């Protein structure tokens, strides 16, 4: 009887020890180094009603490729941006109002912000995925960098709203600047709340794809915004269209990195020299390049051919070896390719994935602490 009594005491003590250990245990936090600069930047159009929700199940096709249980890392940068919004039956354009879309006010800017950081979507989905992989022993070599677009404070808008009780008038350059800085600060506030372990802050993106001159004087505005970001040690990125105004002066405006859009993919009548021009211009002006495709590669062999043409011309031009690259994929093209069971589509997905995996960290500099 005494023997069983002693065993009971020992068992109960062990139970208390295990219980206490469970109560005091904390989630494992892996030490992932941060990095400066991005090698492969995925453009993630996020928040409008017709976009993917960007849940972990959707984001995984951009984050890694599964190779028999081993994660092969894909994009190391993610630009969360949006051009359009639709709320209460009204359509908005964050870049430039046109046709049936109007310039968004402060409330719609706030809507973009809240949707961007929605639970288990977008950046939060990336963090969930990375944490899940880390707990399985698949720890990324460095943090995935996240960037956010700044809505264009559109010249001439007078109904944007107030800051600190002051009604802003976007005919005034100082008010446009104040709105842009307000949004930067709001993004940084939300970012700090998230306390990410696997994501680094890659900076901001200027949404408007050209530099408008008089009366807008966008160049002066961008320079001031860039100077403001420098006080916070933040980068400013830009992706202008082919032949956009002001590209030759991108460094003078304060952009940290600029990617050239070729604009070759979208029109079947576009000739190869347009793509070649963009590649040569990018090399002359010290620009990165943007590769462009969308979901039409799954449906139309002509567009699939153009997809491969970008890959081949980037190879010929030395882009894969020497330049950071941004990836425009139409809002969900890469997702559709990753999910496709079509052997030809899967082949196309893997051809580009192989390149991205091989380039992992090529232009990313680890920040030593």
What's the average model confidence in pLDDT over 111-126?
96
- Strand ranges (E), 197-344: 199-206, 236-238, 257-260, 288-292, 325-328
pLDDT the model gives residue 275: 98
Share of the chain above pLDDT 70, in %: 92
- Please report the pLDDT score of residue 16 as a whole number: 40
Give me the pLDDT at residue 12, please.
43
Q: Is 174 helix (H, G, I), strand (E, B) or coil?
A: helix
H/E run at residue 226: helix 218-230
Q: CB neighbours (10 Å) of residue 291? A: 23
Give pLDDT tens digits for 197-251: 999 999 999 999 999 999 999 999 999 999 999 999 999 999 999 999 999 999 9
Cβ–Cβ < 8 Å for 87, 119: no
Q: Which of 233, 244, 258 is nearest to 326 (CA)?
A: 258
Residue 7 has pLDDT above 60, yes or no: no
Q: Are 149 and 94 in contact (CB under 8 A)?
A: yes
- Residue ranges per domain, the chain? 36-366
- pLDDT bracket for residue 29 (50, 70, 90): confident
CB atoms within 10 A of CB 176: 26
CA 154/CA 221 separation, integer angstroms: 11
pLDDT digits (tens, 9 = 90+) for 33-62: 999 899 999 999 999 999 999 999 999 999
The C-alpha atoms of residue 369 and residue 134 are separated, in whole angstroms, by 21
107 vs 30: which has the higher pLDDT: 107
User: How many residues are listed for the chain in this entry?
Assistant: 369
DSSP at 254: T
Considering the entire predicted model, what is its pTM? 0.91
DSSP state for residue 137 in the 8-state scheme: T
Is it the case that residue 6 has pLDDT exceeding 90?
no
Is there a cis peptide before residue 215, judged by omega within 30 degrees of 0? Answer: yes
CATH of 36-366, one of 3.30.1120, 3.30.1490, 1.10.3470, 3.20.20: 3.20.20
Task: Say how far apart CA 93 and CA 97 lie, in whole Å.
Answer: 5
What mean pLDDT is predicted for residues 157-179? Answer: 98
More confident residue, 104 or 368: 104
Residue of 36, 128, 117, 134 lying closest to 77 (CA atoms)? 36
Mean per-residue pLDDT for 327-339? 98
Q: What is the pLDDT of residue 369?
A: 63
pLDDT of 3: 44
Rounded Cα–Cα distance for residues 368 and 134 (Å): 21
Q: Give 254 or 28, the one with higher predicted confidence.
A: 254
């Amino acid at each position: 009887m005494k023997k069983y009594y002693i065993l009971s005491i020992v068992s109960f003590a062990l139970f208390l020890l295990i219980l206490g250990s469970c109560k005091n245990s904390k989630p494992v936090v892996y030490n992932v180094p941060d990095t400066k600069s991005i090698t492969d930047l995925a453009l993630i159009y996020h928040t409008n009603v017709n976009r993917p929700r960007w849940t972990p199940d959707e984001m995984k096709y951009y984050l890694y490729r599964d190779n028999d249980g081993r994660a092969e890392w894909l994009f190391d940068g993610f630009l969360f941006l949006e051009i359009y919004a639709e709320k209460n039956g009204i359509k908005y354009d964050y870049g430039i109002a046109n046709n049936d879309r109007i310039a968004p006010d402060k409330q719609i800017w706030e809507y973009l912000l809240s949707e961007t950081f929605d639970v288990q979507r977008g950046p939060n989905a990336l963090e969930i995925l990375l944490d899940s992989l880390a707990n399985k022993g698949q720890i990324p070599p460095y943090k995935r960098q996240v960037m956010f677009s700044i809505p264009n404070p559109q010249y001439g808008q007078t109904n944007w709203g107030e800051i600190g009780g002051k009604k802003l008038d976007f005919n005034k350059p100082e008010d446009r600047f104040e709105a842009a800085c307000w949004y930067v600060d709001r993004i940084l506030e939300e970012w700090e709340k998230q306390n990410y372990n696997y994501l680094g802050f890659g900076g901001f993106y200027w949404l408007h794809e050209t530099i408008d001159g008089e009366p807008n004087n966008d160049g002066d505005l961008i320079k001031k915004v860039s100077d403001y970001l420098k006080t916070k040690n933040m980068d400013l990125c830009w992706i202008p269209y082919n032949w956009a105004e002001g590209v030759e002066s991108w460094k003078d405006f304060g952009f940290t990195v600029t990617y050239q859009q070729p604009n070759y993919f979208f029109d079947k009548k576009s000739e190869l020299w347009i793509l070649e021009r963009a590649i040569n211009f990018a090399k002359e002006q010290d620009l990165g390049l943007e590769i462009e495709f969308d979901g039409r590669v799954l449906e139309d062999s002509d567009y699939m051919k153009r997809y491969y043409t970008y890959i081949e011309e980037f190879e010929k031009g030395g882009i894969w070896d020497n330049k950071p690259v941004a990836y425009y994929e139409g809002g969900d093209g890469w997702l559709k390719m990753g999910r496709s069971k079509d052997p030809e589509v899967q082949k196309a997905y893997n051809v580009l994935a192989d390149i991205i995996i091989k380039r992992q960290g090529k232009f990313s500099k680890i920040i030593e602490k």
